[in-house]
Amino acid sequence: MDRILIVEDDPETAAAVAAEVRGLGCEPVIVTTLEEGVAAAPGDFKVIVLDRMLPGGDGVEAMARMRANGARAMILVLSALGRAANRVEGLEKGADDYLPKPFEPEELRARLRALLRRGTMQVLDNDLLAFGDLEIRMKARTVHIKRAHVAVSPKEFELISYFAQNAGQVVTRMQLLENVWNLHFDPGTNVVDVHVGRLRRKLEEAGSAAIQTARGEGYVFAPMAAK
Amino acid sequence: MSADRPLAARATLRLAALMAAAIMALSLGAMALQYRLVETRMMQAQENLLTASLNGFAALYDQRRIIALRQAIEYRAAASAGGEMLLLQDRKGAVLAGTETAWPTGVDPTGEGFTADHAVAFAKGDTRWLGVARILPGGFPLLVAHSLAPVDATLASLRRGMAALAAALLAAGAAVGWFAARGVMGRVNRINTLADRVAAGDLSARLPGPRSNDEFGLLETHVHAMLDRIENLNRATHRLSDTIAHELRTPLNRMTQKLSRIQGQEDLAEELKSEMRAAIRVFDSLLDISRAEADQGSGGGLVPVDLSAVASEVWDLYEPLAEDKGLGCTLSVQPGLRVLGDRNLIAQMLSNLLDNAIKYCAPGDALSLGLAEAADGHILTVADTGPGLPDTLKEDAFERFVRADRDIDRGIKGHGLGLALVRAIAARHGAKLVLPATEKGLTLEFHWPKLAAEA
């Protein structure tokens, strides 16, 4: 069973995170201070969920120490320092993902899942990603459904590539905005929905219902199940 | 900043030059006074000498008139070493005796006594003379004059000495001024460099080494005390915003977790969650505005950013939204224009602008984003043909929490922070915000300082 380290001083938050971790079939290990976290980090963990304003200091500042001690887990910073500037700072200092508090359980689950996958995933060097009728050619940057070419914009291609990397999993709007557009603020309006909607219509017109809405959570790319 | 340096150095040099000039003027004044005194005294001595000669001739004339005078002048002329000019003529102008063969020009006889009154200075050849010309009873013109050559020689050498002294003073003044200016500028530059570093965002910059025990040392101590205070205030501000974030978001987080456990009332829970997200956005915007304003003017944290690329990316994000609403969209971005900036902040600013425009425009309106290079910077233009800003609002629209009444009446949602954040982010980047007059809608122009092209 994969283990996930939770460095969090707020017991309720820690419990909520632990519940999500168990929901993913992993084993949570909770520590409440930064020092304990740094000491535990080199252990056999797949992901470290790290708070920032901890007794003993800032988690983001401690990431380098964790890495130096031999920690190889993916680090998800989960912090009340949630402004765009804080997020960019955290990512620049080596976090693999950054989720601001307050967080939706679904959002945390989607991100943990993505990190767990990234931790084990082979590098995608296949030129061809095939999902049944749907084919994505990475080098040519083209999408084909039932052998027919589907014209997508460069951004739509990046979008479908990101979906493909997380095929079968819920992907949230925030994840799309961060990973596809590299933007780390909440634009308020759901601009992402419009883009996903367009891509989805194109796929549907070509006969593939690959993108599904996960109500209240985001989207799921499930080309094989959609029949 | 560094362009001001030579001007500052000039101020010190000017002061030093002024002091040197004052000292020189005083010295030259004193020397001029002395010169006048010497000149007067020497002329007086010459006059005394002339009086003595005249008195001698007067005594002889009293005894045997012209004959004795003629003999005495002949004798004196023979013995003369050139320092005297004597001439006695008869009534027809023939020379009776003397050192001269003709009456010198420019000298008119006056009176007939042997007094030294009305002595005149006149020139003959290169030499100046001081003399008295008379017509003795019976019509005998008499000239008695003494050479002023020794006086002139003395005064000339005095003048040479003064000129040399003035030159030496000038050189010394310039040297002292230069050294003083250099010394002062060295000390001032230390502090200027420090100020530049602090302005560039390095609030913890300090001058190394011990303070000297003088006015500059005192100035450095004061500057350091000031910087300590600024640094503490800045740290306190950052700590405060972090603390607010922590204290607000932690309880909100617990609420969110509890909300997700509510069963059966998903719609209400979702509404509450979106209210909470809106509250966090308001409060993040406020913190972002404060932060951008606090960092304004400092280049700290800014890196070269491809403004063209960011503008195109954000445009790509919003264009479908605008198209879906029925707006006519135009993008005209000149590629490769770079500025010193924070990509995320710029994106946030553009996102606010485009989001606003889409929110207020009606189907059929036009929306455009332009970026072009001008002589004095990169000009970013966001223009729409929507309702524009109400005349009563204009500049006020960029203040926090200011919203147009008509929007509130129409029920358009917003917190009145969008444009305030736009202005703060523009100011953070040193971009000038201009509101050109338009016939319809709203046009915003941002004049970004150029980033020097990189190799």
Nearest Cα of chain B lies from the Cα of A32 at a distance, in angstroms, of 15
Domain C-terminal end among B154, B169, B185: B154
Q: Cα(B310)–Cα(B89) distance, rounded to whole angstroms?
A: 112
Residue B407: the pLDDT is: 73
| Residue in chain A nearest B275 by alpha carbon | A188
CB contact under 8 A, B250 and A101: yes
Residues B276, B310 share a domain: no
Residues B386, B360 contacting (CB under 8 angstroms): yes
What is the token pair recorded at B262? 């509510």
Q: Cα(A104)–Cα(A17) distance, rounded to whole angstroms?
A: 10
Residue B9: the pLDDT is: 60
What is the token pair recorded at B96? 């009776």
Q: Say which DSSP state A95 is in.
A: -
Residues A49, A4 contacting (CB under 8 angstroms): yes
| Residue in chain A nearest B278 by alpha carbon | A188
Full domain range(s) for residue B237: 215-294
In a domain, residue B87? The reply is: yes
- Which residue in A53, A88, A102 is closest to B256 by CB distance? A102
Residue B299: the pLDDT is: 59
Q: Got the DSSP string for B158-213?
A: HHHHHHHHHHHHHHHHHHHHHHHHHHHHHHHHHHHHHHHHHHTT-TT----SPPPS
In a domain, residue B189? The reply is: no
Residues B310, B281 share a domain: no
Residues of chain B with pLDDT under 70: 1-9, 200-201, 297-300, 413, 452-455
In a domain, residue B195? The reply is: no
Detail the DSSP E strand segments found in B50-167: 84-89, 95-98, 120-124, 127-136, 140-147
Q: Which long-range contacts (CB under 8 A, 24 or more apart) does B172-178 make?
A: B172/B20, B173/B16, B173/B17, B173/B19, B173/B20, B173/B21, B173/B23, B173/B24, B174/B17, B174/B20, B176/B16, B176/B20, B177/B13, B177/B16, B177/B17, B177/B19, B177/B20, B178/B13, B178/B16
Residue B455: the pLDDT is: 36
The β-bridge relationship of strands A47-50 and A74-79 is parallel
Residue B77: the pLDDT is: 84
What structural domains and CATH numbers belong to chain A? Answer: 3-120 (3.40.50.2300), 128-221 (1.10.10.10)
Residues B117, B260 share a domain: no
Domain C-terminal end among B252, B275, B294: B294
Q: pTM of the entire structure? A: 0.67
Q: Cα(B244)–Cα(B336) distance, rounded to whole angstroms?
A: 40
Interface-testing mutation among B351, B355, B360, B412, with chain A (most A C-beta atoms within 10 A): B351
User: Which residues of chain B make contact with A88, given a CB cutoff of 8 A?
Assistant: 344
Residues B105, B150 share a domain: yes
- Neighbour tally for B279: CB within 10 Å: 13
The CATH number that applies at residue B35 is 3.30.450
Nearest Cα of chain A lies from the Cα of B332 at a distance, in angstroms, of 18
User: Once rounded to an integer, what is the mean pLDDT over residues A154-161?
Assistant: 92
CA A110 → CA A22, A33, A76, A91, distances in Å? 14, 26, 12, 18
Residue A121: the pLDDT is: 60
Residues B250, B128 share a domain: no
In a domain, residue B163? The reply is: no
Residues B290, B308 share a domain: no
CB contact under 8 A, B249 and A183: no
| Residue in chain B nearest A83 by alpha carbon | B284
Amino acid A1 reads M
In a domain, residue B376? The reply is: yes
Rg (CA), chain A: 19
Domain C-terminal end among B275, B294, B313: B294
Residue A28: the pLDDT is: 95
pLDDT digits (tens, 9 = 90+) for B195-245: 888 876 677 888 888 888 888 888 889 999 999 998 888 788 778 878 887
Residues B255, B234 share a domain: yes
Residues B285, B340 share a domain: no
Q: Cα(B8)–Cα(B19) distance, rounded to whole angstroms?
A: 17
Residue A156: the pLDDT is: 92
Residues A62, A52 contacting (CB under 8 angstroms): no
- Which residue in A82, A184, A185 is closest to B245 by CB distance? A82
Nearest Cα of chain B lies from the Cα of A53 at a distance, in angstroms, of 8
Residue A227: the pLDDT is: 42
User: Which residues of chain A make contact with B245, given a CB cutoff of 8 A?
Assistant: 80-83, 86
The ipTM assigned to this model is 0.85
| Residue in chain A nearest B252 by alpha carbon | A102
Residue A226: the pLDDT is: 44
In a domain, residue B210? The reply is: no
Q: Cα(A142)–Cα(B365) distance, rounded to whole angstroms?
A: 34
Q: Please give the tally of structural domains in chain B.
A: 3
Coil, strand or helix: which one is A92?
A: helix
Instruction: Please name the residues in contact with B5: beta carbons below 8 A apart, sequence gap of 6 or more.
Output: B189, B192
Residue B140: the pLDDT is: 84
In a domain, residue B194? The reply is: no
Residues B146, B32 share a domain: yes
CB contact under 8 A, A81 and B246: yes
Coil, strand or helix: which one is B261?
A: coil
- Partner A contacted by B250 (CB < 8 A): yes
Residue B92: the pLDDT is: 82
pLDDT digits (tens, 9 = 90+) for B400-452: 877 777 777 777 767 778 888 999 899 888 889 988 888 888 899 999 998 86
| Residue in chain B nearest A84 by alpha carbon | B344
Residues B129, B12 share a domain: yes
Residue B69: the pLDDT is: 84
Residues B138, B244 share a domain: no
Residue B257: the pLDDT is: 85
Residue pointed to by tokens 């913890």? B204
The CATH number that applies at residue B363 is 3.30.565.10
Residues B112, B78 share a domain: yes
In a domain, residue B180? The reply is: no
